[in-house]
Amino acid sequence: MAGSMRGASVHGRAQGMQVSARLDGSTSPESLPTCLAVDLTIDPGLHVYGHPVPEGFIPLSIDVTAPLTGLRVGTPVFPPPTPHQMEGFDEAFFIYEGDLSVSIPLTCTAGVDATALEVKVRYQACSDRGCFMPQTVDLSLPMRG
């Protein structure tokens, strides 16, 4: 029988951003969640790039791997980024600032002996004056409580 759940979350931080991930949403008949929620808080005065992004800039990306069979990880659903004009550039950049949430659908395709999902958030935090080196936050999220 399907139900709803909100799982425990795991947290990580790198330069310019706090990241948390949790299993969320209704559960499949195997009592596995059907959605992964990744919440990002970008430090005040900074932004990260969305898509499209000019060559040479690092956009926000989230990669999820499940070291098991029977679970399919869908494409992350990002909110729309905000257009931003940067001094010295002709084209508009698309950025995220503040808080945002990204949802990633999960589909159980067979019996799953799930242990954990590996979540990798990659980004480059910038201000209007310059950018930090690209960063990666790695999280390991247990599939079952």
Q: What is the mean pLDDT of residues 67-71?
A: 71
Query: Per mean pLDDT, which range of 7-21, 39-53, 109-123 is the poorest?
Result: 109-123
Give the residue from 21, 90, 84, 23 showing the smallest Cα distance to 49.
84
pLDDT exceeds cutoff 80 at 40: yes
- Tens-place pLDDT, residues 130-143: 899 999 999 998 87
Cα separation, 54 vs 95, whole angstroms: 12
Q: Does domain 4-142 have CATH number 2.60.40.1180?
A: no
Q: What is the mean pLDDT of residues 97-113?
A: 83
Cα separation, 86 vs 44, whole angstroms: 17
Give the residue from 100, 88, 68 showing the smallest Cα distance to 129.
88
Question: Are 67 and 112 a contacting pair, CB within 8 Å?
Answer: no
Of residues 102 and 28, the one with the higher pLDDT is 102
Confidence of residue 6 (pLDDT cuts 50, 70, 90): low
Q: What are the structural domain ranges in the chain?
A: 4-142
Confidence of residue 144 (pLDDT cuts 50, 70, 90): low
pLDDT exceeds cutoff 80 at 1: no
